[in-house]
Amino acid sequence: MATADQKIDALIKRDYQAGFVTELEADAVPAGLDEGTIRVISAKKNEPAFMLAWRLRAYRHWLTMTTPQWAHVHYPPIDYQDIVYYSAPKSGKDGPTSLDEVDPKLLETYEKLGIPLKEQEMLAGVAVDAVFDSVSVATTFKEKLGELGIVFCSFSEAVREHPALVEQYLGSVVPHTDNFYAALNSAVFSDGSFVYVPKGVRCPMELSTYFRINASNTGQFERTLIIAEEGAYVSYLEGCTAPMRDENQLHAAVVELVALKDAQIKYSTVQNWYPGDEEGRGGIYNFVTKRGACRGANAKISWTQVETGSAITWKYPSVILEADNSVGEFYSVALTNNRQQADTGTKMVHIGSNTRSTIISKGISAGRGQNTYRGLVKILKGAENARNYTQCDSLLMGDQCGAHTFPYIEVKNPTAKVEHEATTSKISEDQLFYLIQRGLSAEDAVSMIVNGFCKAVFKELPMEFAVEAQKLLGISLEGAVG
Amino acid sequence: MLSIRNLQASVNDEPILKGIDLEVNAGEVHAIMGPNGSGKSTLANVLAGRENYTVTGGEVIYQGKDLLALAPEDRAREGVFLAFQYPVEIPGVSNIYLLKAALNAIRKHRGEPELDAIDFLELVKGKIALVEMREELLYRSVNEGFSGGEKKRNEILQMAVLEPRLAILDETDSGLDIDALQAVASGVNALRSQERAIILVTHYQRLLNYIEPDHVHVLAEGRIMKSGDKGLAHELERQGYGWITQPAAGTSP
């Protein structure tokens, strides 16, 4: 087995392929955080009064909170006064209205990442709301969606154009008091995406946002809110990469999903932020709060995530199953290599009767990576006939990594059915040799085995994302996929 | 096609092969028989290039090339195929996906264009009949939940699709019932050709009732003790291995 480990070790040592920095003038406020900073952010974004008041409430609450210590991750304390809380690329005061007005350097960056906007517009039928640092620079397909009454825009725009919707739903799933990072985000969030799908409308295309962190030492505080009215359907894709940087970058996003009666929201993420070098220097800290609420009967929320990046991931996309017959799903692939640490999982809170949840978690640990699944299945007293199925599989590559599983199950109703399965396995030398003997390179053999391990999750991803996810996993593990 | 000269190999520093000499020509079927622990599987694995099998002496020339200098994937691409004694399961990877990836890796090596999905499916459907395998198994994960017989048929299917020059079948008959044995044997027989050499590694003579070898070799204590034609296999069936491996007592087995 030692030789197989060495081989895998050699394969997984690869450089981050998206590591570069675009030279753009950043319109940034100085580092540090106080009420003044928040007022500046709010003013720069021309926000209505309710928004500033909400931010300030969150900030004052945040001051009373302390950093959570329970996650299985280790890092030096973060100096929150040393972070720049707002930066926007300078591309004219009012922002571009079409791609022609977008800074060509910015477009170049996207092309290096393999996501040329122009091609995407024409090809995949994907509407892209691209976030570069903290401000949206291009929104496509907006008009087409507008004809159906669908709103898909930057969060800042939503605050200005649809203040009533924002005021009604913002913080209704993740209150500003929820946790340390959510409170911080609520105080200083810069931008993000907003989606509103009206009653009975099925969104005809995948909505997609590419996030990218660029300016040095800029914390990114994305805020996303998706609302699906009665009978509506929407599939949302989120994908991220970040350029190479020396200092750790904090990312604390909040995503809120609201699904009303018979509505369905599918939220897919492929996350590939800079994980740091082999010693873990310079990687992104990704402390995210993602939560959806099934507010009406038969509502359904699915989270699918492929996490390959970041130095530290702290993330638990959850579903609150408030209404009867509502359904929550969580499909996750988390890969940690070198010194990456991931503490991720989900919370399924069953409140309504006949609520169902499914959790499929695949953790891959390589190098000195530490991978933790942490999940809560909570069946409240009134949740008659609630059901949960949980499957947690861990794959270890090499002998210096770790996989940990912390399932929490709280059942207050005796009619509940809760199942939990967990496995831990290693890529065996037998499997590798079998594939190599059939003519595959060692790299392709590892990639094939890992992708097979993740199949149950990948099949939940939209087609174009599934391909990207397989590629990413390949890149993250060995540099090339056949 | 294959010349093995004084091949010596050890596993975990323990010498297993102690000087093997063997000549295999294209079109021939060689059976390598021998008692348990004689080094039969070691020979198969050394030829395929498995790690942890350390060659300590001798040489192997395959189609004019130094086989031992080639990486295991290059040996496969050059036409060396090993049918495994214990085919492994690969969860989540469909059988047909592996077949296609393997065939295209080999075609690429030969400078041939890769086959697209449609041409490939046609090819596989032709081959699957050879081993009397259920088509449904093509779409299941590699060997996962397969019966012993299905796993071995799958090995022969892979061989049929990849069309190797040199096929080494490591105890392919072990654990097979008579129906599966016949199916596997007819698959192998269909693949006999003037361009292809086949080495059957087996403990029992039974398989040789269905696949008739041109040459039979008895391997014991890391050496080929005796070679002959198919008559030798029958001799072994009657007398066991003792008369060869213990020549001193050989007169009264």
Residue among A318, A365, A372 at smallest CA distance from A346: A318
pLDDT at residue B250, as a whole number = 40
Residue, of A319 and A336, whose pLDDT is higher: A319
Tell me the shortest Cα–Cα distance from B72 to chain A, in angstroms: 6
Residue among B211, B207, B209 at smallest CA distance from B196: B211
pLDDT at residue A115, as a whole number = 53
CB contact under 8 A, B87 and A436: no
CB contact under 8 A, B90 and A448: yes
Q: Which residues of B fall below an 8 Å CB-CB distance to A?
A: 48-52, 72-73, 76-77, 81-82, 84, 86-88, 90-93, 97-98, 101-103, 105-106, 109, 141, 158, 162
The pTM for the full model equals 0.80
pLDDT at residue A4, as a whole number = 52
**Secondary structure letter of residue A191 according to DSSP:** B
Tell me the shortest Cα–Cα distance from B73 to chain A, in angstroms: 5
Closest residue in B to A4 (Cα) is: B51
Residue, of A135 and B90, whose pLDDT is higher: B90
Chain B contact for A466 (CB, 8 A cutoff): no
Residue, of B47 and A109, whose pLDDT is higher: B47
- Give pLDDT tens digits for A229-264: 999 999 998 875 555 454 557 889 999 999 999 999
Query: How is A334-384 classified by DSSP, letter by letter?
Result: EEE-TT-EEEEEEEEEE-STT-EEEEEEEEEE-TT-EEEEEEEEEE-TT-T
Query: b/e map of B212-227 (b: 16 or more CB within 10 Å)?
Result: ebbbbbbbbebbbbbe
Query: How is chain B classified by DSSP, letter by letter?
Result: -EEEEEEEEEETTEEEEEEEEEEE-TT-EEEEE--TTSSHHHHHHHHHT-TTEEEEEEEEEETTEEGGGS-HHHHHHTTEEEE-SSPPPEEEEEHHHHHHHHHHHHHHHTTPPPP-HHHHHHHHHHHHGGGT--GGGGGSEETTT--HHHHHHHHHHHHHHH--SEEEEESTTTT--HHHHHHHHHHHHHT--TT-EEEEEES-SGGGGTS--SEEEEEETTEEEEEESHHHHHHHHHH-SHHHH-GGGTT--
Q: Residue B81: what residue type?
A: F
Q: Is the pLDDT at A97 greater than 60, yes or no?
A: no
Tell me the shortest Cα–Cα distance from A447 to chain B, in angstroms: 11
Q: Cα(A472)–Cα(A270) distance, rounded to whole angstroms?
A: 9
CB contact under 8 A, A440 and B73: yes
Q: Tokens standing for A170?
A: 């913002």
Chain B contact for A439 (CB, 8 A cutoff): yes
Geometric angle at alpha carbon A309, from A306 and A310, rounded to 5°: 130
Chain B contact for A4 (CB, 8 A cutoff): yes
Chain B contact for A114 (CB, 8 A cutoff): no
Q: Is the pLDDT at A214 greater than 50, yes or no?
A: no
**Complex ipTM, two decimals?**
0.94
Mean pLDDT of the region A69-91: 78
Banded model confidence at residue A295, pLDDT cuts 50, 70, 90: very high
Selecting from A428, A429, A449 the residue whose C-beta is nearest the C-beta of B51 gives: A429
Selecting from A4, A429, A431 the residue whose C-beta is nearest the C-beta of B90 gives: A431
Chain B contact for A408 (CB, 8 A cutoff): no
Residue, of A45 and A58, whose pLDDT is higher: A58
pLDDT at residue A134, as a whole number = 43
Mutate which: A1, A7, A438, vs B, most B CBs within 10 A = A438
Q: Which residues of chain B have pLDDT under 70?
A: 246-253
Q: Cα(A40)–Cα(A38) distance, rounded to whole angstroms?
A: 5
Selecting from A3, A441, A452 the residue whose C-beta is nearest the C-beta of B91 gives: A452
Q: Is the pLDDT at A22 greater than 50, yes or no?
A: yes
Q: Is residue A138 helix, strand or coil?
A: strand
CB contact under 8 A, A453 and B92: yes
Residue, of B53 and A283, whose pLDDT is higher: B53
Average pLDDT for chain A: 81
pLDDT at residue A240, as a whole number = 59
Q: Which residues of A touch B101 (CB under 8 A)?
A: 438, 440, 444, 448, 482
Banded model confidence at residue A474, pLDDT cuts 50, 70, 90: low
CB contact under 8 A, B92 and A456: yes
CB contact under 8 A, B76 and A439: yes
Residue, of A279 and A461, whose pLDDT is higher: A461
Chain B contact for A444 (CB, 8 A cutoff): yes
What CATH code is assigned to B2-245? 3.40.50.300
Selecting from A437, A452, A482 the residue whose C-beta is nearest the C-beta of B82 gives: A437
Report the range of poorest mean pLDDT among A196-200, A208-212, A229-233, A261-265: A208-212
Q: Which of residues 146-205 of A touch B (CB under 8 A)?
A: none
Mean pLDDT of the region A289-309: 94
- In total, the C-beta contacts within 8 angstroms joining chain A to chain B are 80
